[in-house]
Structure formats: structure tokens, C-alpha cells
Amino acid sequence: MMRLKIKVYVYIYVFLSLILIQACVGVQMPNNNAYSSSYKYNFASLYNPSLSEIHPEIRIFAKSENQALVLYKIQTNEIKNLTNSITDESTKLTIKYTLRDTEKFEVVDSGTVVNIINFNEISENFSSYFTVKTPNQENHKIIISIYGEKANSGKRMLEDIELNQNNELWYLPKIIKNDTEEILYSNFVNSNNSYKISSNIKDSLIKVDYYKMQEHVHLPPYYITPTQNISSKPDSSFIYKINDSIKFNAKGVYFFRKEKQSSGGLCLLNIDNDFPEIKTIEAMLEPLKLLTSSKEYKEIKNSENLKFSIDNFWLSKSQSQKFAKEQIRVFYNRIVLANIYFSEEKEGWKTDKGMIYIMFGPPTVINISRNQEEWFYGEDPDVAGIFFLFDKIETQNYNKSWVLKRDSNYQTIWAQALQTWRQGRIFTISN
């Protein structure tokens, strides 16, 4: 049996024209009472890194009830890709933002920030921030466009600014490296580093609820059943003083909240030292639940040689080692991207969005409303394709979980996708 040498580093999504299967299916249109009118802008680039030359990281921090800081970080090498010549020693980086209310999507404010960047004066990353005023303490969405001097370059992003004191915008996590504090742009922590949480809330002492990670139960989109969420009772709790150093020694989920607050707040995940990347055989195991039966999964998990069993799973489905490597690369790239884009109080690949993203890839069209996202797959969703609708809900613990509107009609397309993956091919939808 051939053994696969697997090394997975993942931040760049690669479109594969080799071994793709075409499928033509009817559009799953929602019931008129099931969704709110969406803003008719295509936000597909949000979850498709191949559509942009830069991949900024954004964090929004509430300065007050009507003002927020928008912090951003971009890799220097990516900024150089936006210049007209790779020999340029400096460049202009422009940021345009539009603040819109969430109800009618009307413009509340807009602005432009211009950064003159000298490459000799910055290191691996360029980071900065700008301030946005949010009148009337209402909820807003901010569209941020970042681009350089080269034509058709840049990235457009969409973020929520909800300044009620029930969410993570009121907390600013930082990682401590060599006695230096750096803003943490993700909500991922590990046991190797120390951290600090800043906040503009009045209370200096806040409660931290800790939950152990739960075993993931995979439910296909045609299962009409509630999504699995964290238990409301924490495994332990402790008090944290704002701006103190803290370590997260135990793997699991940490919620930072006001003492009398039972949901919302800042959620930090300690999965392992590599998360959201997949760099170990152990990390490659559980995502196979998306493709295997319970019996198959248990046999792989309980095998004496885990690497051999995972290798054998992929090789047995593909026509060759080459095709198996392509499948592995695409599958685990999608796992990592799902972790980056969709992690909530659990890893992103375990969420409803993550499940659809991994099996079908990035959507062709994404329409967004206040508390919903519509995902369309297919070259022309008005003619043929597949439709998924996600609702943003508040769970007992978390205030921004995205839940799929499940439907028994998805059984056919899911079976097609699963069969394609298990036959050694990569599933996609096109006309």
C-alpha cells in the first residue's frame, strides 16, 4: 500500500479544474415567510480568498456606546502585490468605509483613510486603525474596501458593529510575546502563550465561564433537528481582572462576561497550538465525520496506526495517489478556511456554515440581510443551482451563532455530494 506524505498548511484556497464533477439542480427557494429581504450586494468574496490579492485581518473594538475603533492588519508581502512595480520602496494603501444601518441598509456615514507605507520602515505586517462614529447607539454594518495603487486590486469586507453591551466588541484580546502586547485579531488562543483582555466596560472584574469541548455529532442539512450547542452550565468559572495577564492551560471554550450576564460576551477557543491550521494526523481525524459512516469512523479512530488508516481511507476512494493528494489538499484547505471564517463557540468546520462550505466550496453569490445570509451555488442562481439560508441567532451562551434552515429536500443534493467525494472526486455545482 502506498503511504501518503501529508503536510497541510492552509490559508490559500486553490480552485481545481481537474477532477471536478458538474451538477445541475433546482434552486431551493425559501418560503416567503422564512427570510427577510436581503441587501442586493454580492459578498461572495468574503469567504473566497482566491478572489483577492490581500487578506486583511479586522477587529472592531467599542470605544464608547457611539464610537468604535476599526483595527486592521495586513501582511507586508501582500501589500507589495498591490504596487505597480515590485521594486517600489513605498506605496499608497487606501481604505474606504461605508457605515449602514441594519434595517434599511441606508448610509449613515462614510470615509476614506489613506496610508503612505514605506516598506523599509515596517516588518512582516502593517497595522493601523480608524475611528467610526455610530449615532443613536443603533446596530450597523460596515463595508470596508482596502486597495492599493494597482488597478482591480484589493479586498471588500463586511463587519457588524453592534454596540449593545452583550457582545465581544467591548473586549480587546491581546497576545503577549517577549513582553510586548499584540492585538489578537482572531478568537483563537493556545496553552503556550500569555494573553491580556482590555475593555471599556465599567466593571474591572468579569466572570469567565469555561466549557470542555464536546464530541461533535455530524447532522446533514436534511436532518430537521436543532443544532448542537454548548450546555448552559459551565464546567468551571473564575473571576478575571481586566488587563491582567492570563494563560489558557486547558483546551476548551472560554466566555468573558459581566458577572450577571448569562450569554454573549467574548468567546475564546483553545483547540490546540496549531488551530485553525491542520498540521497533525490527530487533527485530520475528526473532520472525516463529514465523509464517513459511524462504523467507518470508529474503525479509523480505533486503529493501531492512525496515519496509515487515514491514508488508506483517501487512497481507497481515489484512482491514484495523485488524485488522493488533490482530494486531501482541497478537503483540508476547506477545513482550515471554515475554521477561520466560521468558528463560534466551536471549530468552524463543525458549524452549519462550515459543513456546507467544506462539501460544496465557496458560494457563487452571498446576499446578506440584518440577521440572515443567503448562499447560492451555480453560475446563474436564477436559472439553476442550490440555495442555503442561514439565520443569526442567540443561543444560551453565544450571541452570533449561524444556523442553517434545514430542509428534507437537501437529501438528494447531499447524497450526490457525498457520493462524489467518496468516489475520489471533488464536488462542485455549475451549469
Specify whether 24 is located in the same domain as 136. no
Specify whether 59 is located in the same domain as 131. yes
Amino acid at position 42, single letter: N
Residue with cell 492570563: 246
Amino acid at position 425, single letter: R
Region 398-408 average pLDDT: 88
* 423 compared with 201, residue with greater pLDDT: 423
> Is residue 364 in some structural domain?
yes
Quote the pLDDT of residue 369.
86
The domain total for the chain is: 2
Residue with cell 443613536: 136
Residue 24: helix, strand or coil by DSSP?
A: coil
pLDDT at residue 100 tops 50: yes
Residue numbers of the domain that contains 422: 20-43+279-427
> Is residue 208 in some structural domain?
no
pLDDT bracket for residue 40 (50, 70, 90): low
Quote the pLDDT of residue 430.
59
Quote the pLDDT of residue 259.
82
Specify whether 106 is located in the same domain as 26. no
Q: What is the pLDDT of residues 321-349, one digit of tens each?
A: 899 999 999 999 999 999 999 999 999 99
DSSP run (H or E) holding 91: strand 90-101
Specify whether 84 is located in the same domain as 32. no
Backbone angles phi, psi at 2, to 5 degrees: -70, 140
> Is residue 210 in some structural domain?
no
199-203, 295-299, 379-383, range with the lowest pLDDT:
379-383
pLDDT at residue 374 tops 50: yes
Q: What is the rounded distance in angstroms from the CA atom of residue 162 to the CA atom of residue 366?
A: 21
Q: Quick one: 262 exposed, middle or buried, by C-beta within 10 A (0-12, 13-18, 19+)?
A: middle
CB 386 within 8 A of CB 413: yes
Specify whether 299 is located in the same domain as 364. yes
Specify whether 140 is located in the same domain as 26. no
Residue 325: helix, strand or coil by DSSP?
A: helix
> Is residue 386 in some structural domain?
yes
Specify whether 288 is located in the same domain as 409. yes
> Is residue 185 in some structural domain?
no
Quote the pLDDT of residue 16.
38
* 87 compared with 408, residue with greater pLDDT: 408
Specify whether 28 is located in the same domain as 131. no
Q: Show which of 108, 137, 153 is a domain's final residue.
A: 153
Q: Which residues, including other chains, have CB under 8 Å from residue 144's CB and lie 6 or more apart?
A: 58, 70, 72, 95, 96, 97, 156, 157, 158, 159
Region 280-289 average pLDDT: 97
DSSP for 267-320 reads EEEE--SSTTS--SHHHHHGGGGGTS-HHHHHHHHT-S-HHHHHHHHHHHHSSS
What is the value of pTM for the model shown?
0.89
Q: Show which of 153, 177, 203 is a domain's final residue.
A: 153
> Is residue 141 in some structural domain?
yes
Q: Show which of 132, 153, 174 is a domain's final residue.
A: 153
Q: What is the pLDDT of residues 157-199, one digit of tens each?
A: 999 888 776 788 999 999 998 889 999 999 999 999 999 999 9
Residue with cell 443603533: 138
Q: Within a 10 A sphere around the Cβ of 76, how many other Cβ atoms?
A: 13
Q: Which residues, including other chains, have CB under 8 Å from residue 263's CB and lie 6 or more apart?
A: 166, 257, 394, 395, 396, 397, 398, 399
Quote the cell numbers at residue 98. 461605508
Specify whether 284 is located in the same domain as 148. no
> Is residue 161 in some structural domain?
no
Mean pLDDT score of the chain = 87
Determine the angle formed by the axes of helices 410-422 and 352-360, rounding to 10 degrees. 50
Specify whether 318 is located in the same domain as 381. yes
Residue with cell 472526486: 425
Q: What's the CATH code of the domain at 81?
A: 2.60.40.150
Name beta bridge partners: 365.
376
> Is residue 283 in some structural domain?
yes
